[in-house]
Chains A and B, each alone.
Chain A
């Protein structure tokens, strides 16, 4: 990592822990994780058939028989039996995961004819139950209002959802890096103020930073695209020769040691991106190709690809997924966009 840290400018501090953070307390808000929609979905109910167990002494026999003949497939997250909340001391058992009339006339009547144990349960009737397994504590709490469910809490998801994922030191560091992105955004000679910084979090070193150059000669030179190319330059590649002052002057010669070294960094593997505005679909996919590890952005954009219009980072079928956090110094980042005169 020694060579890499040489590549960043002299003005970049190497450790966030030494730097005293002087901002107002509201700035220390945790970044908000942008998770797959499944973690935010509201309760969906489905109609099923249940029976009341009339003779509780027969429960074990009834459950055994029903589970054997009427296994649950789609609704395996539901507990098979519950004690009825309305009728104290009464047990209900799921007998069919669909609410279709022919269940009673075909399957159910056949079972009753052939097995005496079914005389200890009521005629099946409809209840509403949660259609999908709960993935979060909140979804679980809502689901069990209707029917008991099994739930294996993912502690990581819980911490991401209730914004307790990062410790105070990490939050400071995230804000410091976003401040760097804000400052590079402001350095632009163009009206559009967007800044991007790519950081190696292991050494807390800035690898690349750029403002947005799309209003210059090249429409594809969004801040993120330029920063990705700068990482390539640091690794002995790169394509765009930039003279603009708002991209940092990378000391290519000190970085060329990396060239030909196959054990060195590969694309943006292990790196974090800080960008003042939510990336567009082109930039979001460029980050997939570049194997970025995490993306932190400030203000959302209605056509953005990491939470607003799309959630490309959790798109099924794509071979690399990265973590996304939004709302980092959001007010400051938003102001950059509205400052356009």
Chain B
């Protein structure tokens, strides 16, 4: 594993741990504050790249093609589709997402024959996986305080 990748993954974990402290899912997402369940960290990051490109008068397509996405958990099916559409070539992630994973765990959206979606997405998995799993465990100990009373799951930990 490239040292550069490790450095960026460490930075990614720092951000996720920060998010956990503020009550969000530990992947840097904005679901609760926006009341939009599609605001996963990957989508937020894509929005930021688009904004960055616009502000710096760069072609966003060209910017995405030079990007690597570092994320603590395997992107979900939606995000894998989104990443292919913006043509990010590579994603590096910590642990698998057994509930929604779109890079092989539930569906292999990253490599499936979907030409109109965009080119396939290369994935490197299991990078600092133990830290990623611990982060998720810490999150699921808490409950989602933004869900309505009747939808909220009570955790008996």
Interface string of A125-140 (1 = CB under 8 A from B): 0000000000000000
Does the CB pair A237–B35 fall under 8 Å? yes
Query: Which chain A residues numbered 159 to 177 have a C-beta less than 8 Å away from chain B?
Result: none
Q: Identify the closest chain B residue to A269 (Cβ).
A: B151
Does the CB pair A262–B148 fall under 8 Å? yes
With contacts A229-B38, A318-B100 known, is A280 near B30, CB below 8 A?
no
Q: Which of A220, A231, A319 contacts B82 (CB 8 A)?
A: A220
Q: Identify the closest chain B residue to A309 (Cβ).
A: B114
Q: Is B46 an interface residue (CB 8 A)?
A: yes
In the complex, A319→B43 CA distance in Å?
Answer: 21
Residues of B within 8 Å of A284, CB to CB, are 77
Binds A, one of B3-11, B101-109, B126-134: B101-109
Q: Is A202 an interface residue (CB 8 A)?
A: no
Q: Is B147 an interface residue (CB 8 A)?
A: yes
Does the CB pair A220–B35 fall under 8 Å? no
Q: Is B143 an interface residue (CB 8 A)?
A: no
Q: Is A117 an interface residue (CB 8 A)?
A: no
Does the CB pair B37–A303 fall under 8 Å? no
Q: Is B155 an interface residue (CB 8 A)?
A: no
Interface string of B42-54 (1 = CB under 8 A from A): 0100110010001
Q: Identify the closest chain A residue to B83 (Cβ).
A: A282
Q: Identify the closest chain B residue to A317 (Cβ).
A: B106
With contacts A281-B77, A282-B85, A285-B77 known, is A228 near B38, CB below 8 A?
yes
Closest chain B CB from A64 CB (angstroms):
46
Does the CB pair A232–B35 fall under 8 Å? yes
Does the CB pair A218–B50 fall under 8 Å? yes
Closest chain B CB from A309 CB (angstroms):
7
Does the CB pair B117–A280 fall under 8 Å? yes
Residues of B within 8 Å of A228, CB to CB, are 36-38
Does the CB pair B37–A267 fall under 8 Å? yes
With contacts A238-B34, A239-B36, A262-B149 known, is A281 near B50, CB below 8 A?
no
Q: Identify the closest chain B residue to A228 (Cβ).
A: B38
Query: Which chain A residues numbered 255 to 295 have a C-beta less than 8 Å away from chain B?
Result: 262-264, 266-267, 269, 280-286, 288-291
Does the CB pair A239–B151 fall under 8 Å? no
Query: Which chain A residues numbered 203 to 262 have a C-beta less than 8 Å away from chain B?
Result: 214, 217-220, 225, 228-229, 231-232, 235-239, 262
Does the CB pair A286–B78 fall under 8 Å? yes
Q: Which of B39, B78, B106 contacts A239 (CB 8 A)?
A: B39
Q: Is A39 an interface residue (CB 8 A)?
A: no
Query: Which chain B residues numbered 105 to 120 have a C-beta less than 8 Å away from chain A?
Result: 106-107, 109, 112, 114-117
With contacts A219-B86, A318-B100 known, is A289 near B37, CB below 8 A?
yes
Query: Which chain A residues numbered 283 to 341 have a C-beta less than 8 Å away from chain B?
Result: 283-286, 288-291, 301, 303, 309-310, 312, 315, 317-319
Residues of A within 8 Å of B98, CB to CB, are 317
Closest chain B CB from A338 CB (angstroms):
15
Q: Identify the closest chain A residue to B109 (Cβ).
A: A281
Interface string of B121-157 (1 = CB under 8 A from A): 0000000000000000000000000011101000000
In the complex, A264→B150 CA distance in Å?
Answer: 11
In the complex, A306→B120 CA distance in Å?
Answer: 21
Does the CB pair A315–B106 fall under 8 Å? yes
Does the CB pair A237–B81 fall under 8 Å? no
Residues of A within 8 Å of B147, CB to CB, are 266
Closest chain A CB from B85 CB (angstroms):
5
Residues of B within 8 Å of A220, CB to CB, are 43, 46, 82, 85-86
Q: Which of A232, A303, A318 contacts B34 (CB 8 A)?
A: A232
Q: Is B33 an interface residue (CB 8 A)?
A: yes
Q: Identify the closest chain A residue to B78 (Cβ).
A: A285
For A282, A284, A301, the residue with the greatest tally of chain B CB atoms inside 10 Å of its CB is A282
Does the CB pair A237–B78 fall under 8 Å? no
In the A-B complex, the 4 residue pairs with the closest CB atoms = A237-B35, A282-B81, A285-B78, A232-B36
Which residues of A does B touch, CB under 8 Å?
214, 217-220, 225, 228-229, 231-232, 235-239, 262-264, 266-267, 269, 280-286, 288-291, 301, 303, 309-310, 312, 315, 317-319
A-B contact pairs, 9 of them (CB 8 A): A214-B85, A219-B85, A220-B46, A220-B82, A229-B34, A282-B82, A283-B78, A288-B77, A309-B112
